[in-house]
């Protein structure tokens, strides 16, 4: 049975568990503090710190794992990226105090002290630019470092930038964009590769369905050409004859962002019996 390393706590852990549950791989643990669990009887999960997952996967303690791309890059381990799970989005940024006068990277002088828990990425970033900085390792509350005189600037994660602003910091540049990723070892046996591809497809089908809705409507035959323009679907709408009537039943997959306008357009065309429902999984 393949072993999948998952985050043991935090928002990322909650979102990962929800995704696996929706994919039919329910997390079945013996208790809240259990270190292992069954994933729908198909895989075994081990729960570890998100920052340790790249090491567990690279060293063979797990066949695959889910963690932030920032942590994968910071680990420096050579891993296979199976898919972007599209949640947990954030950015690793360079930030400086508002009153520092640093507006862009070129304003950072050699010898500047940079506080970060991402020491590898920070050093590599400035080295590539030919800028000589001193990286100061910190384990938390990085944004306070400039105010305490520990460092002149910081490299830290942000999603909205609000925490940086509250602490009087300005974003200078972005080092990497991050989100939750499914990663794996590169030296799989063929049978492991096949099972991991099944896992990737299962998780992908849930993600693909999240911003889609299944719409059904009874459509007057005379306006069917116009409705086809409104409901393109994946491969065009499905049209089913309704016996003994002037209507046809039309089924289609539509984007949730367009559902309000789509329903109003269909009503204006004379469509009735409009039904919209969520989709659990979508495999085109």
Residue 284 lies in a domain: no
pLDDT value at residue 181: 98
Same domain? 68 vs 13: yes
pTM of the complete model: 0.87
Q: Answer whether 102's CB lies under 8 Å from 171's CB.
A: no
283 domain residue, yes or no: no
29: in domain: yes
What was the pLDDT predicted at 243? 62
Question: Does some domain include residue 16?
Answer: yes
Residues 78 and 94 in one domain: no
- Which candidate, 120, 213, 223, 131, places its Cα nearest to that of 172? 131
Question: In this structure, how many other beta carbons lie within 10 angstroms of the beta carbon of residue 84?
Answer: 15
Task: Indicate which CATH number applies to the domain containing 146.
Answer: 3.40.190.10
On whether residue 199 sits in a domain, the answer given is yes
Cα distance between residue 182 and residue 201, in whole Å? 12
pLDDT of residue 173: 96
Q: Give the pLDDT confidence score for residue 34 in this predicted structure.
A: 80
Which token pair is 19? 């995704």
Sign of the dihedral defined by the CA atoms of residues 83, 85, 88, 94, in that order: positive
Shared domain for 219 and 165, answered yes or no, is: no
Query: By the 8 A CB rule, do 18 and 78 touch?
Result: no
At residue 233, the pLDDT reads 61
In a domain, 23, yes or no: yes
| Domain of residue 228, CATH code | 3.30.70.120
Query: Roughly what angle, to the nearest 10 degrees, separates helices 190-209 and 10-22?
Result: 100
> Which of 178, 205, 256, 212 minimizes the C-alpha distance to 19?
205
In this structure, the answer to whether residues 234 and 192 fall within a common structural domain is no
Tokens of 145: 């470092």
Domain count, the chain: 3
What pLDDT is stored for residue 231 in this prediction? 87
Three-state DSSP state, 175: strand
The torsion angle over the Cα atoms of residues 176, 177, 182 and 188, rounded to 10 degrees, is -30
Using the structure block, give the residue that is written with the tokens 């001193």: 134
Same domain, 121 and 136: yes
Are the beta carbons of 182 and 85 closer than 8 angstroms? yes
Same domain, 8 and 73: yes
* Residues 158 and 50 reside in one and the same domain: no
Strand, helix or coil for residue 271: coil
- pLDDT tens-place string over residues 104-160: 999 999 999 999 999 999 999 999 999 999 999 998 889 999 989 999 999 999 999
Is 102 a member of any domain? yes
The CA distance from 54 to 74, in Å, is: 9
For position 244, what pLDDT does the model report?
Answer: 65
Per the structure, the complete domain to which residue 94 belongs is given by 90-178
Scan for tokens 């080092």, then name that residue: 175
Cα separation, 34 vs 32, in Å, equals 6
Those residues with Cβ within 8 angstroms of residue 33's Cβ, 6 or more apart along the chain or in another chain = none
**Are residue 122 and residue 59 in the same domain, yes or no?**
no
Given a cut of 50, the residues of the chain with pLDDT beneath it are none
Q: How far is CA 165 from the centre of its chain?
A: 24
């Amino acid at each position: 049975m393949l072993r999948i390393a998952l985050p043991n706590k935090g928002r990322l852990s909650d979102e990962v568990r929800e995704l696996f549950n929706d994919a039919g791989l329910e997390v079945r643990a013996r208790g809240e503090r259990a270190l292992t669990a069954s994933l729908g009887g198909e895989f075994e999960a081990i729960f570890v710190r998100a920052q340790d997952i790249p090491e567990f996967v690279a060293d063979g303690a797990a066949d695959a794992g889910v963690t932030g791309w920032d942590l994968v890059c910071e680990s420096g381990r050579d891993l296979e990226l199976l898919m972007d799970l599209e949640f947990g989005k954030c950015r690793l940024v360079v930030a400086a105090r508002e009153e520092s006068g640093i507006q862009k990277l070129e304003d950072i002088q050699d010898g500047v002290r940079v506080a970060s828990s991402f020491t590898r990425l920070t050093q590599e970033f400035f080295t590539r630019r030919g800028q000589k900085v001193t990286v100061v390792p910190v384990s938390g509350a990085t944004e306070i470092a400039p105010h305490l005189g520990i460092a002149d600037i910081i490299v830290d994660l942000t999603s909205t930038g609000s925490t940086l602003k509250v602490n009087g910091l300005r974003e200078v540049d972005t080092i990497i964009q991050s989100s939750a990723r499914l990663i794996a070892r590169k030296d799989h046996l063929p049978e492991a590769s096949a099972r991991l591809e099944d896992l990737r497809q299962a998780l992908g089908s849930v993600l693909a369905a999240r911003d889609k809705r299944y719409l059904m409507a009874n459509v007057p035959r005379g306006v069917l050409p116009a409705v086809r323009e409104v409901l393109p679907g994946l491969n065009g709408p499905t049209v089913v004859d309704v016996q003994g009537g002037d209507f046809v039943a039309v089924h289609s997959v539509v984007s949730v962002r367009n559902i309000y306008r789509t329903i109003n357009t269909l009503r204006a065309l004379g469509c009735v019996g409009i039904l919209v429902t969520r989709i659990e999984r979508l495999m085109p």
